[in-house]
């Protein structure tokens, strides 16, 4: 009888230990997935060009409208609420157009998509000696920068500031008047 009592006590301890290990694993998995704050991804999905015109010759210029689809991908298990922001389009490191992004929210594990239209003109450049060469080459390289600042909310009580930076590059092919090689970091 004494031996049996010892054995059932040992078995009971083994169950408790197994339960503790199991519980710890569940908590760890929860902490590493659900409770983790991740930076959302902010980028251009697709970009098209309209009303494009360029001048080739002694006074080179370009004018166009970029119609861009913007995506904000939120991989958190809680919503992301962001502030107003501005997307700046640059040519040769100088701004040639900008678009406003109005504050909003992205639901948990969702990607929000919206469209922006950017008026782009080389008249906004103060100077650029290389513009003629770039236009003659047939491809204009543009880049976009923006920062989206906001907060990720988890389980209604936890909040953490998170921001996301957009940094994309693209080429405008002057022959096809289309965007090529859109890449976002
Ligand atoms: C392009 O120009 C035409 C004519 O000026 C205008 O009707 C049209 O709305 C413009 N497109 C965009 C996207 O602004
Ligand atoms: C955000 O942008 C909207 C629309 O442009 C403007 O009405 C609002 O005042 C802005 N909010 C902040 C906090 O700047
Ligand atoms: C954005 O533009 C695309 C292509 O022009 C269109 O199919 C889509 O419905 C637009 N999305 C929104 C949210 O307006
Ligand atoms: C611009 O002019 C150069 C030289 O005349 C020519 O080779 C090139 O094809 C032109 N480019 C465009 C986009 O018209």
Predicted pLDDT at 2: 58
What is the tally of structural domains in the chain? 2
In this structure, the answer to whether residues 24 and 55 fall within a common structural domain is no
In this structure, the answer to whether residues 27 and 53 fall within a common structural domain is no
- Ligand 1: residue whose CA is nearest its atom 10: 51
**Helix (H/G/I), strand (E/B), else coil: 29:** helix
Which residues form the domain of 166?
41-184
In this structure, the answer to whether residues 29 and 50 fall within a common structural domain is no
In this structure, the answer to whether residues 13 and 81 fall within a common structural domain is no
Predicted pLDDT at 33: 81
**Residue 103 CB–ligand 2 contact under 6 Å:** yes
Q: What is the pLDDT along the chain (185 residues), one digit of tens a residue?
A: 556 777 888 888 899 999 999 999 988 888 888 888 999 999 999 999 999 998 877 888 999 999 999 999 999 999 999 999 999 999 999 999 999 999 999 999 999 999 999 999 998 887 777 888 888 898 999 999 999 999 999 988 889 999 999 999 999 999 899 999 999 98
Structure tokens at 107: 């639901």
| Contacts of 4 by beta carbon, 8 Å cutoff, 6+ apart | none
**Ligand 1 pocket mutation pick from 47, 49, 51 by most atoms within 8 angstroms of CB:** 51
Tokens 């040769």 sit at which residue?
Answer: 92
Predicted pLDDT at 58: 80
Report how far ligand 3's centroid is from the alpha carbon of 117 (Å): 11
In this structure, the answer to whether residues 46 and 1 fall within a common structural domain is no
In this structure, the answer to whether residues 63 and 137 fall within a common structural domain is yes
Predicted pLDDT at 108: 95
Q: How many CB atoms lie within 10 A of CB 168?
A: 20
Predicted pLDDT at 1: 55
Report the alpha-carbon distance of residue 105 to residue 83 in Å, rounded.
9
Q: What is the 3-state secondary structure (H, E, C) of 130-174?
A: CHHHHHHHCEEEEEEEEEEEEEEEECCCEEEEEEEEEEEEEEEEC
**Residue 174 CB–ligand 4 contact under 6 Å:** yes
Partners of 121 in the beta sheet? 63
Report how far ligand 3's centroid is from the alpha carbon of 153 (Å): 28
In this structure, the answer to whether residues 99 and 153 fall within a common structural domain is yes
Q: How many CB atoms lie within 10 A of CB 12?
A: 10
Report how far ligand 3's centroid is from the alpha carbon of 18 (Å): 54
Predicted pLDDT at 127: 73
CATH number of the domain encompassing residue 148: 2.60.40
Report how far ligand 2's centroid is from the alpha carbon of 84 (Å): 6
Query: Model-level pTM?
Result: 0.82
In this structure, the answer to whether residues 58 and 140 fall within a common structural domain is yes
In this structure, the answer to whether residues 63 and 141 fall within a common structural domain is yes
In this structure, the answer to whether residues 91 and 22 fall within a common structural domain is no
């Amino acid at each position: 009888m004494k031996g049996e009592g010892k054995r059932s006590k040992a078995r009971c301890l083994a169950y408790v230990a197994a339960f503790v290990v199991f519980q710890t694993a569940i908590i760890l998995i929860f902490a590493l997935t659900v409770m983790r704050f991740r930076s959302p991804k902010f980028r251009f999905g697709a970009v098209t060009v309209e009303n494009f015109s360029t001048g080739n010759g002694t006074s080179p210029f370009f004018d166009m409208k970029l119609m861009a689809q913007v995506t904000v991908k939120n991989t958190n298990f809680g919503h992301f609420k962001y502030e107003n922001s501005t997307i700046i389009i640059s040519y040769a490191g100088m701004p040639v157009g900008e678009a406003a992004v109005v504050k909003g929210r992205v639901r948990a594990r969702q990607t929000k998509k919206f469209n922006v239209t950017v008026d782009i003109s080389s008249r906004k450049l103060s100077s650029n000696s290389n513009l003629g060469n770039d236009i003659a080459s047939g491809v204009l390289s543009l880049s976009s920068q923006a920062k989206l600042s906001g907060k990720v909310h988890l389980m209604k009580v936890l909040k953490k500031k998170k921001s996301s930076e957009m940094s994309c590059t693209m080429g405008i092919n002057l022959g096809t008047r289309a965007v090529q090689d859109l890449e976002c970091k």
